[in-house]
Amino acid sequence: MQKPSLPKGTRDFGPVQMARRTHILEVIKETFQLFGYQQIETPAMENLSTLTGKYGDEGDQLLFKILNSGDFLKDVESTDLESGASAVLPKVAEKGLRYDLTVPFARYVVMNRNELTFPFKRYQIQPVWRADRPQKGRYREFYQCDADVVGTESLVCEAEIILMIRNVFGKLGLKDYSIKINNRKILTGIAEAIGEEGKEGPLCVAIDKLDKIGWEKVQEELSQRGFGNQSIQNLAPLVSLEADLAGKVEFLKSFLKNSETGLKGVEELEEVFQILSQMGENLDFVDFDIMLARGLSYYTGAIFEVKVNGVSIGSVSGGGRYDNLTGVFGLPGVSGIGFSFGVDRLYDVLDELGLFPEENLNGTKLLLTYFDEKGFSYALSLLNIFRKAGIKTEIYPDQAKIKKQFEFATKKQISFVGICGDNEIQSGTISIKNLNSGEQNSYSIQEAAGLLENL
RNA sequence: GUGAUUGUAGCUCAGCUGGUUAGAGCGCUGGUUUGUGGCACCAGAGGUCGCCGGUUCGAACCCGGUCUUUCACCCCA
């Protein structure tokens, strides 16, 4: 028999990990609910036609496809095989695993448009799958925690995303991070302003590498991508700009003075800040990053990305506004905005920073122990009394030496053992020992229950 | 998908230019202790050296393939 193993990029979660993951998820869930979002779930698999074409060519490559049931070869002709994988695929697979939560949500909104009350605020916490090459902080199966609003263009949503991120990060104990924010319209405007209208896509891909490869290399790349020398020179003042938030805004107002779209982007950004101020909130952790570009295939307004400083993990949250996500499913003109927390990466970040609380297992509080058959029977009769009092109680099920039972309690981090021996049976009491302090006393059953209830 | 990298006991790792029965710490099991865990001491179990093939008198070590891990590119949570 060979050793069992897991598919590449997938993991098991043991009790300790689950306690920690649950903690993270609870914080996120509470926050979403606090801001008025309602939970939905969608199936792990979608029709392949729902998924393909939404994430670009590379995204399609990363989709997990599900082989049809039964004789999946029945529609395949030998000519298909000769034509290669792309000809065979649609005939052998009609379903795929979801790649993110946004596209299934868009599908959901379109299918339920008549039942939903708009603006519709939903959150969704489910695993997604990508046939990516695994690395640190990158898995083939991972959870996303999405919150989206559809059916409103109000910038209150943008402001509230910032508040939700700060709420979650604060509760998780994260103190050094930046919420990078930008606006797709600003990027469009920049492309216009330097004389390369419509080319913000390649512009951003190149400029995104500024931190990594430097301005010189970025210029080379831009040149390769067909940007004129004059355009690249026009870009220079922006690259070298060092200013605070207000300074950046002022600079852009003049830099983008001939781009209507660009100015609109700056206005939107200012309005978000304005709304925050009206809410009595500040701009802590907010970093206006003019070069931030992500999800260009569908974002049209605000863009978010959150990075925790001082750790080796990539972004732990991201999102943005999309004006026409449901358009591809036949419902145009519905604006939406959403963002997502990556629980798995948040876990890695908290782990790396040592921010998980020590006692997080929330497990059993009391283990009933005994020496012999008589004590075992006595302990069985007490179980329900403690459990009714709301105390997480268990009994060592196999009749074993008391030493073994104590070791079990220690290993499972059970703080109290209740000893059921002849003396206790005779007097109708129980001896409670605190395994952390070593202190031991005898109590009546009711006293013991009352005592443990309050600890 | 491209180029690297990793794999030895449950865990973290040693293992000399290829040479007898592959080691350590922690963990595990039993005992010192049949009304008491952690600490200490004693004893013990546990490995087809990721897998398949090749070179060699001989392979954990060299070569090829494959899987896995990690990293860069790409992209992303």
Which residue type, as a one-letter code, is found at position A376? F
Output the CATH code of domain A362-453.
3.40.50.800
Q: Which of the two residues, A386 and A72, has the higher pLDDT score? A: A386
pLDDT of residue A1: 46
Q: Any atom of strand B under 7 A from CB of A422?
A: yes
pLDDT of residue A185: 92
Q: How far apart are CA A162 and CA A173, in angstroms?
A: 17
Q: How far apart are CA A259 and CA A270, in angstroms?
A: 17
pLDDT of residue A342: 92
Q: Could you tell me if A127 and A142 are in contact, meaning their C-beta atoms sit under 8 angstroms apart?
A: yes
3-class secondary-structure state, position A441: strand
- Where does A389-444 have alpha helices with state H? 402-411, 422-427
The predicted model gives A192-209 an average pLDDT of 82
pLDDT at A145 over 80: yes
A430-439 pLDDT tens trace: 999 999 889 9
Location of each CATH 3.40.50.800 domain in chain A: 362-453
- What are phi and psi for residue A74, nearest 5 degrees? -65, -25
Our measurement of CA A349 to C1' B50, in angstroms, reads 29
Q: Which fold has domain A15-45+99-353?
A: BirA Bifunctional Protein; domain 2 (3.30.930)
Q: Provide residues 51-80 of A with CB closer than 7 Å to any strand B atom.
A: 58-59
Q: Provide residues 88-127 of A with CB closer than 7 Å to any strand B atom.
A: 100
Q: How far apart are CA A112 and CA A125, in angstroms?
A: 19
pLDDT at A137 over 90: no
Paired residues of A95 in beta bridges: A47, A66
Which residue type, as a one-letter code, is found at position A113? R
pTM of the model: 0.89
Location of each CATH 3.30.930.10 domain in chain A: 15-45+99-353
Annotated binding site of A: 100-102, 130, 144, 148, 294, 298-299
pLDDT at A268 over 60: yes
